[in-house]
Structure formats: structure tokens, C-alpha cells
Structure 1
Amino acid sequence: MGGSKWEQRRVETTQRLQHCALELTLERGFDGWTMDDLAAAADVSRRTVFNYFDAKADVVLGPHHDLPEETVAAFVSGGPTGRLFDDLVQLAREVLHETSVDIELELLRRRVESTDPKVMAIFRARFEEHVEDAVALILEREGEGFGAHRARLVMRLLVTVFDSMLDRSAPDLTRPLPDLIDDAVRDARDVFAD
């Protein structure tokens, strides 16, 4: 988590707000707390909460991050490696790096998503939006002949790799994220090589 002190403070505040929102959701359910409750739990002003997040769903699920245009253009043109799955893994790495993923926060988010039906529904809707955006990029890169069903399958496999990465992190939260990703990708390759 490099960058300026301001950037570091922004990341820390974003993560603190998300952590508090997830804890509130576990305790009270998604509809059982307000943004004012979140501000009090995080010990910030209501204004600060809204400077970071527009809505409860955003703070619980995490902010949406767009990839830089040059990264998307490189992917669509067949880069960086020329192998679709490897390039998608690289895009995922960039998103995880850019967003300063906190594994503990992701594990807590996973717990909330699996226990609160409202959060589960919101997560599913957001997930489908992201998948459709990715499918469009894959089809732009690979051509319509690749097929939307195959593109969705590739994205779901990538999500499964990410989920495996979270499973691997639980016993040892100190392992570097790139190592966890590499292990999960390696295991996926091994499974499909059999």
C-alpha cells in the first residue's frame, strides 16, 4: 500500500468504513442500520461516509473500480500475454493491487454475503453486471464466434480461482496476495490438465 500519506489515509478510512458496515450487517442485518449508524461506528462524520460511498450497498460490497483505459485497450488487443485466461488473471491482479485488497475484509465480506439474504441478492446483481462487462470485453477481444456462454464460463472460473485464493488466505493472512493467486491458478491448471 504505497503512495502518499493522503492516499494511505484514504485507503485506511475506506477499509475502516467497509469493516464497520460489514460488522453492522452481521449484527443487525443489511436493513438494520443507517449511514448515521455507520458514521458513529467508524467514528467519522456522516459527511465523511458520503465522501467515500454513495450508498449502503457500495460500502458493504466495496466500491466499484474501473481499470485504466490503457489496461483495457491492451487486453482487448490481445495482451499482455496473448493467452486469454492468463490475461484475465493479470487484469484481476491489477484490480486487486489497485484496490489495496485487505484479505481479512474480503473474508468478512464473504461471511456477510453468505448469511444475509439481502446482501446476497445485491451481490448477485452486481456480480452479474461485472460478468456482463467482462463478457463484452472478452468478445471484443476474441470475436463474437468465441461465444457469450464460453466467456461467462471463463469469468466464473476466474471467480472460482479468486474464491480459492481467499480459502488459502484464511489460515495465514500474512501470505502475499500474488503468491495466493499463483497457487490458486497453478492448482486450477493442474486440475484441468488431468
Structure 2
Amino acid sequence: MTETASKWETRRAETARRLQWCALELTRDRGFDGWTMDDLAEAAEVSRRTVFNYFDAKADVVLGPVHDISEERIAEFVAGGPTGHLFEDLVAVAAEALAEKSTDIDLVQLRRDVFRGDRRLVAIAHDRFESVVQEAVAFILQREGADYGEQRARLLVGLLMVIFESAVERVEPDQSRPFAALINDAVADARVVLQS
């Protein structure tokens, strides 16, 4: 990557972060339905056009990006990789998707706090979450076969989400550790809990 392209990517990431941060603050202060994209542009000190160059809708900017997983990684997972252990592989795929988008833990924490105070936003997030769960369940069933069962696959994805939430909660006391290490700690704790 050239230095110019790198600067452009850095500036683009900073603008996206500022837009998300301002949208979350507006939601915290006014509620999800209490502000417009024009209000967001003003708060972030950008044009309305810039807002729409980054995000298609208000929900997208508040909820943040959907973490895409490459087709190669999905194919590897469905084929039984990378380790051959379903839960380990699911954690690895999710951690990689989060790492590729350089998860901003401050935004994740602010988003979590804002969600707790806005029922409308919780409903919107639930709809997005459900589509992610359905996609993950489909990949698990492709890998394990229909006999594995949809309910078991949904439970597995739900456990992964709880582990992610636990990792987010671990950031506050120890912000020096990488998020991937916190996910690993939460997985280890989950193993202990499930074996007791």
C-alpha cells in the first residue's frame, strides 16, 4: 500500500469513527428517534453528503459495521477448519472478523451503554443480530450436518455472543491487553463454568 493510500485509509477510518461516536452520543442524549442525519453531520462537522458516503442509514451508523467474513474463511470453516474443533473454529472466525475491522473497544462500550437506554435501538439491533445468527447457524449446519440441529447451532452462536460481551466487560479494568486476549480469557472461563 502506498503512503498516500495509507493516509487516505487512516483518514477514512477516523471519519467513520467520528460519525459513529457522534451518532451514539446523539442517541444517548436524545434517543434514537430524537435526531436526524443532518444533526449528525452538524455534530461531526461534516457535510450531509459525507455522512451518506459512509453510512446508508441511521441504524447503520449507530450499530456500526457488520463484520464481513471472507469466502475463503467461511469455506475453511465449513470444511472443518481451522482446528477441527467446532467451537474453537467459531471463536477463531469471529475473532478474525473483529480484528480485521480493528474493533474500537471505546465505541463498543459506548454502543453497549447506549443500547441499555434505548428500547427502539435494542429492537433494531435484535433484527440485525437475528440475521447474523441465521447465517452462522447455516454455516454450522453445513459443516456439521442437519442432524446437529438448528437449536444446538443457535445455542452455540448465543454462547459466542455471551463470550464477546464478557470480553467487552473485561476491558475496563485492564485496557492494556489486546481484545483477542480478553476473548481467550472469556472462552477459558466459559469452559470452566460449563464443566462445573
Provide Cα deviations, 1:2-47, integer angstroms capped at 9, x if missing partner. Answer: x822222222211111110000000000011111111111111111
Q: Contact conserved, 1:35 with 1:49, CA < 8 A, in 2?
A: yes
Q: Which residue of 2 aligns with 1:82?
A: 84
What displacement does 1:191 show? 1.2
Q: Classify the secondary structure of the residue corresponding to 1:4.
A: helix
Q: 1:190 and 1:9 mapped to 2: Cα distance?
A: 43
- 1:162 aligned to 2:154? no
> For residues 116-142 of structure 1, what are the alpha-carbon distances to aligned partners after superposition, in whole Å with 9 as ceiling and x for unaligned?
011010011111111011000100111
Matching residue within 32, 38, 41 for 1:39: 41
Alpha carbons 1:11, 1:100 under 8 Å: kept: no
TM-score by length of 2: 0.95
Distance, in Å, in 2 between the alignment partners of 1:49 and 1:174 is 32
Q: How many residues align?
A: 192
- Unpaired runs of 5+ in structure 1? none
| Residue in structure 2 matched with residue 5 of structure 1 by the alignment | 7
> Does the 8 Å CA contact 1:18/1:62 hold for their aligned counterparts?
yes
Return the offset for 1:193: 2.1
What is the identity percentage for the equivalent residue pairs of Structure 1 and Structure 2? 61
> By how many angstroms is 1:110 displaced?
0.5
Return the offset for 1:160.
0.4
1:103-182 mapped onto 2 (5 Å cutoff): 103-182=105-184
Gaps of 5+ in 2: none
Pairing 1:93–2:98 present: no
